[in-house]
Amino acid sequence: MFDAVLVPGGGLRPDGSVPPWVRRRLDRAIEVRANAYVMPLSRGTVHKPPPLDDAGFPVGEADACADYLRRRGVPDGRILVESFSVDTIGNAYFSRVVHADPLGLRRLHVVTSRFHIERTEAVFGWVYGMPPDGFRLSFEAVGDDGLDPAALAARAEKERAALAALAPTMERVRTLRALHRWLFFEHEAYRGRRPATAVGAALASY
């Protein structure tokens, strides 16, 4: 049994709809949740502008995922939206400080795509392993539905490079206080500067 099933961000279509690989994550979260919360994560991505709704407002990724969950029968009272993060590190950090810590959620199951699972395990294990700990994390990979081979190969390579680049920071940053400082003073996505964005085939996976 889980306290919550977490679904990391995976992008939106230009019309604001949830792409196939994210629907696959959400469908699996519904299947395994029993009475647990489902926690869709992410405001969006730094790699491309957000889609806009009919009134011209940005469509938040976690909001779109929450709508999908409601349509599939998950009650409002069992959906926890995390709409602050713009990357996997933020998914882990904000899910912990906004929901898991305040609500005492300790048994957490993370569902993401196969192309994303290795970095997800490393990042969530790092963030949730910081004291005070006591979390029990499990992970599950689902299929990479809807991504063509070129996009999938490019994204897989980008995932490997990102994890390798993060390794020294993971060794150095070992507390939530230090992580907060690193996020908001060193990580460009959270210190008010737009970072470099993905280009080429990998962009289709965001």
Domain of residue 131, CATH code: 3.40.50.620
Domains identified in the chain, total number: 1
Coil, strand or helix at 45: coil
Average pLDDT over residues 95-116: 98
DSSP 52: B
Tell me which H or E stretch contains 150. Answer: helix 149-172
- Of 158, 179, 159, 177, the closest CA to residue 169 belongs to 179
C-alpha 170 chain-centroid distance: 18
Position 194 scores a pLDDT of: 75
Residue 199 has pLDDT above 70, yes or no: no
Residues in the chain: 206
Tell me which H or E stretch contains 183. Answer: helix 176-185
**Domain residue limits at 34:** 4-205
Percentage of the chain lying above the pLDDT 70 cut: 99
Percentage of the chain lying above the pLDDT 90 cut: 93
Contact 96, 123 (CB under 8 A): no
- With a threshold of 0.85, does the pTM exceed it? yes
Give start and end residues of each alpha helix (H) in 82-140: 88-94, 101-103, 117-128
Can you read off the two tokens belonging to residue 162?
Answer: 């990102």
